[in-house]
Amino acid sequence: MSDIKIRAKLEGDETTVKCLMSHPMENGMRKDSKTEQVIPAHFIQEVVCKVKGTVVMKSAWSGGVSKNPYLSFKFRGGAVGDEIEIAWTDNKGESQSQTAQIS
Amino acid sequence: MIDAKRRTLVKGSLAAGAVVGAGLIAPRAFADWNAAAFQAKDIPTAMTGLLGSDAAEVSDRIKIKSPDIAENGAVVPVTVETDLEGVTSISIIASKNQLPLIASFEFVDPSVVPFVATRIKMAETADVIAVVKAGDKLYKNAKTVKVTVGGC
C-alpha cells in the first residue's frame, strides 16, 4: 500500500505531473510540547521520478519540505498511457513508490 | 563532455539501484544524500557543498511564485520556473531557516521542463532563493515571503 498520489496530465506537448506523498517530514529540531523531548528527524531525502522506466528527474530534500510533501514537475514528449513512477527514500531507509499513467 | 559521461554513470547506477530496490530485499538509505550541503547552517556552505560554488548571477529570468504573506510558515507553496537554456538543476533555499537548503531538483533528462512546485517550511520572514544551474553557470533570484507564524 503506497501513500503516494500521482496525477499526470498531457496538455499540448507538455505533461504535468503532480504528486502528494504522505510523510511526517520531521526535521529533527522540533520538540514535543508535552514531553520537551526532541522529535527525531524523519524526512524524505530522495525522490526519483521515472517516465516509462527511465529516470527523468531526481531530487534531494531536507526536513525543510512541508509535511505530506507536494511535488509538481513537467516534461515534454509524453503520451497518454505512458507510465510515471515516483519513488522516495527517507533518512530511516524506508521507501515507497507508486506508478500512474498519463491521462 | 565529462558532464555527459557523468550523467550516463549516474543513470546507470540509479538503474542498478532500482533493480535492487524493486526486489525489496532490504530498505536502503539514500547514500548519495549530500549531508554537507543539507546540514549546512549558512547559504555559502550549502551552495558550495551542493553545486561546487556559491557565486551565482542574479537573473530575473528565474520566476519564483510564492505568497507575499504566508500565514502558516509550515506550509509555504513555492513554484520556480525559468526560461534559461540548458537547465540541469533547481535548488530552493529559505534564507533564514536554521538549515537553509530545502530541496534540490536535478533534471536528469533533457525532456524535463525547468519548472518545479512544492511546499516548504519557513521559520520566519525571509527570502526564498532559487538557484538554477544552466550550462556551467549558476543563476539565482529571490522573493521575500512574510511569515506570520513560523513553521520549523
Quote the ipTM score.
0.94
Report residue A71 as a C-alpha cell: 511535488
Q: Which residue has the cell 554537507?
A: B36
Provide the number of structural domains found in chain A.
1
The CATH number of the domain where A73 resides is what?
2.60.40.10
Q: Note the pLDDT tens digit of each residue in A16-66.
A: 999 999 999 999 999 888 898 999 999 999 999 999 999 999 999 999 999
In DSSP terms, A100 is beta-bridged to A84
Asked whether B148 and B133 are in contact (CB, 8 A), the reply is no
Nine cell digits for residue A92: 530511516
Q: What does R_g of chain A's alpha carbons equal in angstroms?
A: 16
Predicted TM-score of the model (pTM): 0.85
DSSP, collapsed to helix, strand or coil, labels residue B137 as strand
Which domain, by its residues, includes A68?
4-28+37-101
Distance from A34 to chain B by nearest Cα, in Å? 17
| A25, A59, A69 member nearest B104 (Cβ) | A59
CA nearest A12: which of A94, A101, A75? A75
Quick one: how many helices (H) and strands (E) in chain A?
Answer: 0, 7
Contact between B108 and B98 (Cβ < 8 Å)? no
Does A14 sit within 8 Å of B111, measured CB to CB? no
3 state SS of A51: strand
**Per-residue pLDDT reduced to its tens digit, B102-133:** 999 999 999 999 999 999 999 999 999 999 99
